[in-house]
Structure 1
Amino acid sequence: MELTATILAAPTAPAAANPRVLIVLPSLGTSVGALWQSAATHLGEVDPATTIIGIDLPGHGRSAPVDVSAGTSEYPQLTMSDLAEAVLATIDRVLPDVAGSADASAASISVAGDSIGGAIALQLALDHGDRFDRAAVFCTGAKIGEPRGWLERAEVVATSGTPTQVTGSAQRWFGEGFMDREPEASAALLHSLQDADRFSYAALCHALASYDVRSRLAEITLPVLAVAGSEDQPTPPTKLAEIANGVSGALLEVIEGAAHLVPAEAPAVAAGLLHEFLNPDAAGATGTGEQNSATLPTASGPREASRDEVREAGMTVRRQVLSDAHVDRANAKVDDFTADFQDLITRYAWGEIWTRPGLEKRMRSAITLTAMIAGGHEAELAMHVKAAVRNGLTRDEIKEVLLQSAIYCSVPSANTAFSVASQALAEMDDEG
């Protein structure tokens, strides 16, 4: 099984002693170019010394289909480990040319993937963690769907072809309005599905049917970024939160309004998150793919930045934690009387405190829940319960925070908190 690699973004700045390479992997039914090219172009603009290489899956894009004996429809039943090994073999084959040296091990390699591409990235982190610096997983899970469903889909596609999946994929892949806003991008993705080899697609379904690394997440030692689309049906944010909770030190980001193909639906945002993740020491990296001249706060002191820069950084993290919809509603209500207060909380609460690197966002959410309970701030508690889910707390962890508050804040306070939290979580379920 030989896969094809494509350079999506070549370096435009002098390479360092150890060339930096990002490998990107597509989802089931898409080509790497259709899914990742726009995000790679954005990322190349802010990371000009990095080479971004896309690797197509078997029978997708530019990669050859799986071997099927003439006159039969018997295709190989692949595993995720098979796919991970094929990706690694491809990296070893193309990297010497990219690195400009026969010693490809000198290169600094990270991997990012969407859906099954994210599952392959997790498998590589488990089986060959020493070969990679970082892993970013988009719209995926440690287990995706149920085996029976994948096996049934494999048989349908092997018999009738990938066009049978176009209508369903159009509904699952994209957030509301994306196909109207970006007709060319959505058409390219759906065409890549229609053009995919049916037996290769079926073989990948078999890999997903047997894939389950939930019990192994703690074995991953690489830094991991987990990115979810808020509207994703196949792999909702809870799937990415499970990864973020299972891998020590992993980060979780939820992209509002996006569904299952974040790199194509929000390419600038995806590029910004990758830039920040791949450059953890870079000052002023933001989740929008743009550079901010403000210096990030340190563990021991505040940032050195202008008032506007702090406010901009605060607005970015406020939107990440509370959602664009919430912040837009709050901003719509701002008038001359409340404007200064909104500016105050954006700059100080969000710009000075929530942006600090000393605590992960999920820890800050747990602390904030306790503070809201202790203060009896029910409306704010409901808002921060939803924010806690976006920041990676599971419902069981939220329950534990509320139980502990019964001891330290009072049983009546916890009783009210459980009622508020239950309603907030139910609203999230209703919103999908």
Structure 2
Amino acid sequence: MSVPDIRTVDLGGRGPVLLLGPSLGTTATALWETTAVGLTIDHRVLAWDLPGHGASPAPSEPFDLGELAAGVLTALDAALAPEGRSGERVLYAGVSVGGAVGLQLLLDAPERVAAAALLCTGARIGEAAGWHDRAALVRASGTAGVVDGSRRRWFAPGFVDRDPARAGLLLDALAATDAVGYAQTCSALAAFDVRDRLAAISPPVLAVAGAADEATPPADLATIADGVRDGRLLVLDDVAHLAPAEAPGRVAAALVPFLRAHHGTTGAPTDRRGVPSSATVEEQRAAGMTVRRAVLGDAHVDRASAAATGFTEGFQDFITQYAWGGIWTRPGLARHARSLITLTALVARGHHEELAMHVRAAIGNGVTVDELEELFLQTAIYCGVPDANTAFRIAQRTLTEMGIDLG
């Protein structure tokens, strides 16, 4: 066997181990970091990088998906060895080729996987000729030659404009990927086809599709959900091929109850709604700061932190822990929904001084301009026309400053 040298990244948390797999051309951190915030309270989260991607060194020889899956298990056990947890059964979630590796693990080592969420993937992905062509292109011109094509395949329409920072982080990771590692992964995908073996998979599977995904359309995920013994399909609107990056709140909200249902009695204690109740103050505050930065942006949070005085720093700590760490990290609502609720509350209470900040946050959380218009029209009826008029004025100014064309 040619087992590639795979390295893992520790994304934090405690409890049952959740192993996250990447998409081709991405790194574990760039793809999963934001979604992982909603997973670490409930799980010990590890992620792995493909050969020549992120933390993993370039491959020395070709490999197939079975050998790649074996390398992932070796890396997992190496990461767990210091804790005496090597060989432990884990939960798994993977995107695209990471999802294909998940299928391979379910077939080759079902005793190691308690349940798997497979996102934007397939039992066969694309056509062999297309993968061979892409491998040849990358060998000739490097991964820079596939950046434009990946930009079109990876993201749903409008995402790059809504969240240029996150899109740029992923595309930069692609450009930095080793050409040999990328090309050999393409060759491995060209030979991958387990459609006729799906019925042998018995652990529970959640198949998550992006409605706008042309690379692995919802039909591919339906084939998995229908083919395995215990499968379920979820389709996310306005999402293409990199669901954890495009819709981290919705992905976390979907994964948490599925994973929690299958990690048995070793999971973190939860309340009657299934919400984790075991996070320490430090964990809650850290998770809150991560979400606060993801929603409001580093620049805003840095300004707020720098402006804090001895008189106000306690309040900054309070909102980070309780508002962002206690509420915004909960899996019951996606960030898209939380943004709409927050904007409504701000209009209703007349808190116009925070409206611009949360309009920006809402756009970053996937709220569209059309949805903002409908929201403020609704508030005109239920909150009052003067408040809605002010909200429209502030939102229009904010969206224009963001460079969004309002027609």
* TM-score w.r.t. length of structure 2: 0.65
> What does residue 26 of structure 1 align with?
22
> What does residue 104 of structure 1 align with?
86
Going from structure 1 to structure 2, the CA distance change for 1:291 and 1:179 (only over 3 Å counts) comes to closer
Q: What runs of 5+ residues in structure 1 fail to find an aligned partner?
A: 12-18, 68-75, 294-323, 340-432
Candidates 1, 9, 13, aligned match of 1:6: 9
1:53 equivalent in alignment to 2:46:
yes
Show the 5 A alignment for 1:147-226. Answer: 147-226=128-207
Distance in 2 (CA, whole Å) between partners of 1:264 and 1:57 is: 17
Going from structure 1 to structure 2, the CA distance change for 1:215 and 1:188 (only over 3 Å counts) comes to same
Distance in 2 (CA, whole Å) between partners of 1:266 and 1:284 is: 23
Query: Which contiguous aligned blocks of 4+ residues in structure 1 show a shift greater than 6 angstroms?
Result: none
After alignment, is 143-152 or 178-187 more displaced?
A: 178-187
Displacement after TM superposition at 1:250 (Å): 0.7
Distance in 2 (CA, whole Å) between partners of 1:253 and 1:199 is: 34
> What does residue 260 of structure 1 align with?
241
Distance in 1 (CA, whole Å) between partners of 2:218 and 2:181 is: 28
Displacement after TM superposition at 1:194 (Å): 0.5
Distance in 2 (CA, whole Å) between partners of 1:5 and 1:249 is: 28
> What does residue 109 of structure 2 align with?
128
**SS of corresponding position for 1:206:** helix
Distance in 1 (CA, whole Å) between partners of 2:192 and 2:139 is: 20
Going from structure 1 to structure 2, the CA distance change for 1:289 and 1:108 (only over 3 Å counts) comes to farther
Distance in 1 (CA, whole Å) between partners of 2:332 and 2:110 is: 32
1:95 equivalent in alignment to 2:91:
no
**Structure 2 letter corresponding to 1:79:** D
Distance in 1 (CA, whole Å) between partners of 2:143 and 2:331 is: 41
**SS of corresponding position for 2:202:** coil
Going from structure 1 to structure 2, the CA distance change for 1:170 and 1:240 (only over 3 Å counts) comes to same
Contact 2:17/2:45, CA 8 A, preserved across alignment? yes
Distance in 1 (CA, whole Å) between partners of 2:273 and 2:56 is: 38
Displacement after TM superposition at 1:9 (Å): 2.2
Show the 5 A alignment for 1:283-432. Answer: 284=273, 290=330
Displacement after TM superposition at 1:292 (Å): 5.3
**SS of corresponding position for 2:11:** strand
Q: Deviation string for 1:362-419 (max 9, x for gaps)? A: xxxxxxxxxxxxxxxxxxxxxxxxxxxxxxxxxxxxxxxxxxxxxxxxxxxxxxxxxx
**SS of corresponding position for 1:43:** coil
**Structure 2 letter corresponding to 1:57:** L
**SS of corresponding position for 2:240:** coil
Displacement after TM superposition at 1:276 (Å): 0.9
Distance in 1 (CA, whole Å) between partners of 2:50 and 2:239 is: 23
Show the 5 A alignment for 1:242-253. Answer: 242-253=223-234
**SS of corresponding position for 1:279:** helix
> What does residue 216 of structure 2 align with?
235
**Structure 2 letter corresponding to 1:9:** G
Distance in 1 (CA, whole Å) between partners of 2:101 and 2:89 is: 19
Displacement after TM superposition at 1:112 (Å): 0.8
Displacement after TM superposition at 1:132 (Å): 1.2
Q: What runs of 5+ residues in structure 2 fail to find an aligned partner?
A: 263-269, 276-327, 334-366, 383-407
Distance in 2 (CA, whole Å) between partners of 1:292 and 1:234 is: 29
Contact 2:78/2:86, CA 8 A, preserved across alignment? no
Residue identity (%): 41
Q: Deviation string for 1:236-257 (max 9, x for gaps)? A: 1111011000012211111100
Contact 1:285/1:292, CA 8 A, preserved across alignment? no
* TM-score w.r.t. length of structure 1: 0.61
Distance in 1 (CA, whole Å) between partners of 2:77 and 2:57 is: 18
**Structure 1 letter corresponding to 2:250:** V
Contact 1:24/1:53, CA 8 A, preserved across alignment? yes
**Structure 1 letter corresponding to 2:17:** V
Candidates 32, 38, 43, aligned match of 1:36: 32
